[in-house]
Amino acid sequence: MNDTELLRATDRAYDMVFKGLVEFSCVKAGFELDLFNILADAGSMELEPLAEKVGGEARRLGQLLVAMEQIGLVEKDGSKWKLTEFSDTLFAKPENHPSHTMESAAHSMGFLAENYYMKLADAVRGKQKFISPVAYPPQTREENEYFETIHRRTAYFPIKILGEFAKLDGIKQMTDVGGGIGDISASLCQKFPELNVTLLNLPGAIELVNENAASKGVGDRLKGAAVDIYKEPFPEGDAVMFCRMLYPMSVQFSTMMIKKAYDAIRPGGRILILDMLICDPNKPNFDYLSHYLCGIGMDFSVLDFKKHAEYPGILEGIGFTDVTKEEKYDHVLYQAVKPA
Ligand SMILES: C[S@@+](CC[C@H](N)C(=O)[O-])C[C@H]1O[C@@H](n2cnc3c(N)ncnc32)[C@H](O)[C@@H]1O
């Protein structure tokens, strides 16, 4: 390595050893102190009253704020502290931007950092099991709400790419396989007035889906159904959507799920597959990687890395035609038609 390469490599190594730790500790502390919400409500605050409000000591909070300032989470407004636009948008007041906030994910990652990720070597040795903040599969309404909230908080760009490219004109009945709490299908119902959706999910999530659909004014067109998507066939309809469902599955498993969709789609109907991008060699997907690492602590994991470029071959191999692909907002959308 020459010195230029060594400097670049050193930066990268420093990122690996220091950056993630510093950034996440500050974010975690910010959430645990309720600092983001307090500053969002106040607009800006002097150190002393802010320390009192978060239950901290002014000198110690001051040091945390200086570190948070360095990484772009807070800034000074004269002698007062305030959020940056970045932290205000992504870390404060989830109710203000419910499909685009890190609050739920940060809570889950905080728990996993303390209870699992920092013991990964033990997991490799088989001495540390994966521990979830809430048991999976979720049973109660509260447990389902916990997982569904994590998904719905990052639905902004999936909703956006589907809103721009989903070909659902003329489709009357779509099945949303593992459709979360229904925010994504509700947005499609709002865009396509003829569309009705049956959203398949775990039994404990159905009430949440139906309540959410009603609150968005599409309760008569979007309904949850308790169907085990891995064990049971999908209901018959004009379209099947897999939104953020297939990206972690192997080619073999994806093929099986897409074949089930083919069998359920009426001739002339459509399939939609929306995935996060997880295989860009220049941009590792750390959201997916955080989940992938959990598999190390499990006795069995189906999580895999599959290139999305496999989809045209899988779809055409099963009998779909007219495969299209749109890539935008770090997501990819494949659509295809079952011949009439
Ligand atoms: C990764 S989330 C995707 C949610 C949604 N499609 C989205 O993009 O936000 C997986 C969804 O599948 C549901 N799910 C998991 N296992 C299931 C099963 N065996 N049968 C039906 N739904 C299941 C989960 O409850 C959750 O809603």
- Which ipTM was obtained for this model? 0.99
- pLDDT number for residue 145: 95
Please report the atom of ligand 1 found closest to the CA of residue 144.
Answer: 25
Pocket residue to mutate for ligand 1, from 245, 272, 285, 290, most atoms within 8 A of Cβ: 245
**208 with 148: CB under 8 angstroms?**
yes
Please report the atom of ligand 1 found closest to the CA of residue 176.
Answer: 6
331 pocket-lining for ligand 1 (C-beta < 6 Å):
no
- pLDDT number for residue 302: 86
Q: What is the 3-state secondary structure (H, E, C) of the chain?
A: CCHHHHHHHHHHHHHHHHHHHHHHHHHHHHHHCCHHHHHHHHCCECHHHHHHHHCCCHHHHHHHHHHHHHCCCEEEECCEEEECHHHHHHCCCHHHCCCCCCHHHHHHHHHHHHHCHHHHHHHHCCCCCCCCCCCCCCCCHHHHHHHHHHHHCCCHHHHHHHHHHCCCCCCCEEEEECCCCCHHHHHHHHHCCCCEEEEEECHHHHHHHHHHHHHCCCCCCEEEEECCCCCCCCCCEEEEEEECCCCCCCHHHHHHHHHHHHHHEEEEEEEEEEEECCCCCCCCCHHHHHHHHHHHHCCCCCCCCCCHHHHHHHHHHHCCEEEEEEEECCEEEEEEECCC
**275 with 308: CB under 8 angstroms?**
yes
248 pocket-lining for ligand 1 (C-beta < 6 Å):
no
The distance from CA 168 to its chain's CA centroid, rounded to whole angstroms, is: 23
Please report the atom of ligand 1 found closest to the CA of residue 242.
Answer: 6
243 pocket-lining for ligand 1 (C-beta < 6 Å):
yes
CA distance 287 to 184: 19
- 273 beta partners: 242, 334
- pLDDT number for residue 160: 98
- pLDDT number for residue 101: 95
Helix (H) or strand (E) holding 311: helix 311-318
**Per-residue pLDDT tens listing for the chain (340 residues):** 999 999 999 999 999 999 999 999 999 999 999 999 999 999 999 999 999 999 999 999 999 999 999 999 999 999 999 999 999 999 999 999 999 999 999 999 999 999 999 999 999 999 999 999 998 889 899 999 999 999 999 999 999 999 999 999 999 999 999 999 999 999 999 999 999 999 999 999 999 999 999 999 999 999 999 999 999 999 999 999 999 999 999 999 999 999 999 999 999 999 999 999 998 889 999 999 999 999 999 999 889 999 999 999 999 999 999 999 999 999 999 999 999 9
151 pocket-lining for ligand 1 (C-beta < 6 Å):
yes
Amino acid at 211: E
**268 with 295: CB under 8 angstroms?**
no
**143 with 134: CB under 8 angstroms?**
yes
Distance from Cα 167 to the centre of ligand 1, integer Å: 22
Ligand 1 atom 27: the closest Cα is on which residue? 180
CA distance 181 to 226: 13
Q: Which residue has the tokens 């020459």?
A: 2
Residues 6 or more apart whose Cβ sits within 8 Å of residue 48: 58
Distance from Cα 229 to the centre of ligand 1, integer Å: 9
Distance from Cα 318 to the centre of ligand 1, integer Å: 23
Give the catalytic positions in this structure. 247
Complete domains list, the chain, with CATH? 3-92 (1.10.10.10), 154-280+301-337 (3.40.50.150)
